[in-house]
Structure 1
Amino acid sequence: MSATTTRAMRVLLVDDDATFADILARALRRRGLEVVVVHTPDAAIERATAWAPTHALLDLNLNCETSGLALIAPLLDAAPGLRITVLTGYASIATTVAAIQRGAADYLAKPVDAPAVIAALSGHGDDAAEPAVEAPGQRMSLKRLEWEHIQRVLAEHDGNISEAARSLGLHRRTLQRKLDKRPVKF
Structure 2
Amino acid sequence: MQEFPFETTRAVTHLIRGGVLERHPAMRFIVPHAGGALPALADRVAAFTFASAGPPVDVLGALRRLYYDLAGFALPRLLPALLTLTDPDHLLYGSDYPYTPDWAVHALAEALAAGDCLGGKGLEAMRHRAAAALFPRLASATSAPDWRQTHRPLRHAGGTRHPAGLAGTEGARSAPPPWRAWLRNAASQLSAPQASCGH
Q: Which structure is higher in strand share?
A: 1
Structure index of larger Rg: 2
Structure number with the bigger relative contact order (C-alpha 8 A, sep ≥ 6) is 2
TM-score by length of 2: 0.37
TM-score by length of 1: 0.39
